Amino acid sequence: MRVVVIGGTGHIGSYLVPRLVEAGHDVTVVGRGHRAPYFGHGAWTTVGEVTADREAEEPANAFGDRIAGLDPDIVIDLICFTQASAQQLVDGLRGRIQHFLHCGTIWVHGASTRVPTTEDGPRRPLTPYGKRKAEIEQYLHQQARTTGFPATVIHPGHITGRGWVPVNPAGNVNPAVFQRLADGEPVSLPDRGLTTLQHVHADDVARLFLAAIAHRAVSIGESFHAVSHEAVTMRGYAEATAAWFGRAARLDYLPWDRWKETVDDEDARVTEDHLRHSPHCGVGKAHRLLGHHPRYTGLEATQDALSWMTVDGTITSARPQE
């Protein structure tokens, strides 16, 4: 298959593109300019690269035609954030491709109520980002039902892995939290540290995209969660992370109004977002229909990222490097 990946050198694409090549596909990556993937792989020498400025081309209704002009069988869009953007691709690709896969987010569900949240759970997004992704999902499924457009939506949780800082036990992305746990220093968590987080390794997200392609007949018109099997509380995550560094976690807990005063505004904003959602989504549908099993637990995924962070020097630790 000829596969076009839009935004293929970021979190997911760094794992997805080599897997596509290894599966025998002819892969082209579309981006605004040359950007190296997070880590090297021999498969990248066979990957085509097309430079296209999506934001500049979409107002002229040129981006969808640009992608269609690459003559793909499959298009994977990892960086679509508005319904208008999705619609332009659908208009350009209608009747010309076998499969279209969109990267969504578990944020479409809003706050967890009945857990684990399943794919048919209500869409009550809490943020503009979640609302826009829910609008895209609704539009793509409507196109699949009414016009036969071959769309599948994959909803990742907190993506992590080697190459970037994961969401930390305090619910933001400040690496200083990991450093304090590595040093055995006290760490404060909001409320009682019982908010849940649900990480997923980027390679497991990539594997789910591959599974959806391999089971095209049952994946078209459907959404799938790309998460680890379990969610973990902030407290449990902090304790496991400290133990990974050979430490005992020294935790204290503050009410939200007091805790937010101990961090900068951006860290507080990101943490509040995770507190409001407290996600815990299920992966049963992906297993049942696509035979997909995440290989990493959420903690294993974050620990893989921590291994990279200690090698990279983002965290200093006496723990032996892996």
Residues 9 and 147 in one domain: yes
Angle at 310 between CA 304 and CA 314, to 5 degrees: 110
pTM: 0.95
Q: Looking at the structure, do residues 174 and 270 belong to the same domain, yes or no?
A: yes
| Total domains in the fold of the chain | 2
Give 295's DSSP letter: S
CA 314 to chain centre: 22
Mean pLDDT, the chain, integer? 94
Instruction: Tell me which amino acid residue 251 is.
Output: L
State whether 150 and 248 are in the same domain. no
In the structure encoding, which two tokens stand for residue 124, read together? 């009550």
- Whether residue 23 is contained in a domain is answered as yes
One domain, residues 174 and 108? no
Reported confidence tier of residue 320, pLDDT bands at 50, 70, 90? very low
Domain range holding 131? 2-159+199-226
Domain boundary residue among 182, 207, 226?
A: 226
pLDDT in tens, 178-194: 999 999 999 999 999 99
- Which parts of 41-127 fold into alpha helices (H)? 54-57, 63-68, 83-93
**Per the structure block, which two tokens stand in for 309?**
């962070």
* Exposed / middle / buried, residue 42 (Cβ in 10 Å: 0-12, 13-18, 19+): exposed
User: Does some domain include residue 95?
Assistant: yes
Can you give the CATH number for the domain in which 13 is found? Answer: 3.40.50.720
100 and 173 belong to one structural domain: no
114 and 221 part of one domain: yes
First to last CA, the chain: 37
Q: Do 221 and 251 have their domain in common?
A: no
pLDDT in tens, 144-167: 999 999 999 999 999 999 988 999
Distance from C-alpha of 157 to C-alpha of 256, rounded to nearest angstrom: 23
Say whether both 104 and 175 belong to one domain: no
| Matching residue, tokens 């892996």 | 322
- pLDDT tens-digit profile of 11-63? 899 999 999 999 999 999 998 876 677 777 888 799 999 999 999 999 999 99
Lowest mean pLDDT among 133-142, 177-186, 228-237, 313-322: 313-322
